């Protein structure tokens, strides 16, 4: 008597082999392609989110440093200055060379004017934030009382108007470098320039470099400003609309 393989209840003789059959090469390739496409989309979105978050984090650091000027003035009983220095090269994450501008909080040496320690002046650096120009785009402006409005206006590719770095000159200042932007706060809480004279307003704008050159949307711009009295205001603009 010939033996026949047992068949479970409700099974046909060929169902077991069909059930244990593996995937074909084409099916595996299709799954791999789909996963790769989904991963690519996910990585791209994560990159956009990461760059937006980096911009937000830097704006928080900048505004906090500007607010810290009032605290240092009271702690040190001295005029404080905020300096955006000239472009420099620096090491990024241990290996890459990038362009930076340092935003520094300085304590006056007692003469009431800005004396840049980078050029041999006697003011003291209290705190520094290094801003990568490969990652962020900066704009600065200062308005003198009843003299002239913000100057050196240029237009970003997106059409948003901003004011880029200016070259300050200060006769009584010591060691002041080219392409240095300086504002300060005096004992009366007034906003001053590097020469110690009061100014009407000043602002520092910040956006992501990829937003400025049109490679990342939407265009988000943070503007940190002070008026005649040093009170830091932060304005967030998305595609020209204030939020």
Tell me the pLDDT tens digit for each residue of 136-195: 999 888 776 644 433 333 333 333 333 333 445 677 888 888 788 899 999 999 999 998
Residue 151 forms part of a structural domain:
yes
Residue 20 forms part of a structural domain:
no
> Where is average pLDDT lowest: 37-46, 98-107, 140-149, 169-178?
140-149
Buried b (16+ CB within 10 A) or exposed e, 198-237: ebebbbbbbbbbbbbeeebeebbbbbbbbbeebebeeeeb
Residue 47: what pLDDT? 83
Residue 229: what pLDDT? 93
Tell me the pLDDT tens digit for each residue of 115-125: 999 989 999 99
Given strand 220-226, what is the order of strands in its sheet?
136-143, 201-208, 220-226, 233-238, 241-242
Q: Which domain holds residue 105?
A: 25-242
Residue 68 forms part of a structural domain:
yes
Buried b (16+ CB within 10 A) or exposed e, 137-175: bbbbbbbeeeeeebeeeeebebebebbebbebebeebbe
Residue 11 forms part of a structural domain:
no
Residue 77 forms part of a structural domain:
yes
Residue 149: what pLDDT? 38
DSSP state of 117: G
Residue 40: what pLDDT? 63
Tokens representing 138 are 């900066």
Residue 121 forms part of a structural domain:
yes
Q: What does the alpha-carbon distance between residue 157 and residue 134 come to, in Å, rounded to a whole number? A: 17
Structural domain total, the chain: 1
Sign of the four-CA dihedral 57, 62, 64, 65: positive
pTM above 0.95, yes or no: no
Residue 6 forms part of a structural domain:
no
Tell me the pLDDT tens digit for each residue of 191-213: 999 989 998 889 999 999 999 99
Q: What does the alpha-carbon distance between residue 204 and residue 200 come to, in Å, rounded to a whole number? A: 14
98 three-class SS: strand
Residue 5 forms part of a structural domain:
no
């Amino acid at each position: 008597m010939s033996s026949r393989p047992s068949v479970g209840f409700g099974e046909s003789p060929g169902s077991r082999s069909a059930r244990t059959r593996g995937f074909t090469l084409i099916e595996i390739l299709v799954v791999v392609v789909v996963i790769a496409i989904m991963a690519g989309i996910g990585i791209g979105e994560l990159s956009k989110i990461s760059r937006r978050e980096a911009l937000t984090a830097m704006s928080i650091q900048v505004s906090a440093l500007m607010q810290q000027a009032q605290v240092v003035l009271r702690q040190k009983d001295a005029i404080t200055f905020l300096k955006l220095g000239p472009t420099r090269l620096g090491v990024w994450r241990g290996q890459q060379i990038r362009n930076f501008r340092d935003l520094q909080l300085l304590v006056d040496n007692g003469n009431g004017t800005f004396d840049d320690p980078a050029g041999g002046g006697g003011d003291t650096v209290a705190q520094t934030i290094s801003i990568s120009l490969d990652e962020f785009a900066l704009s600065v402006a200062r308005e003198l009382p009843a003299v002239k409005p913000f100057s050196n206006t240029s237009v970003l590719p997106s059409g948003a108007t901003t004011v880029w770095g200016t070259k300050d000159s200060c006769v009584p200042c010591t060691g002041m470098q080219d392409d240095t932007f300086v504002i300060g706060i005096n004992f009366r809480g007034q906003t001053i320039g590097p020469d110690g004279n009061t100014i009407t307003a000043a602002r520092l704008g910040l956006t992501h470099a990829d937003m400025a050159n049109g490679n990342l949307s939407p265009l988000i711009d943070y503007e940190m400003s002070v008026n005649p009295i040093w009170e830091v205001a932060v304005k967030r603009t998305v595609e020209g609309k204030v939020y």
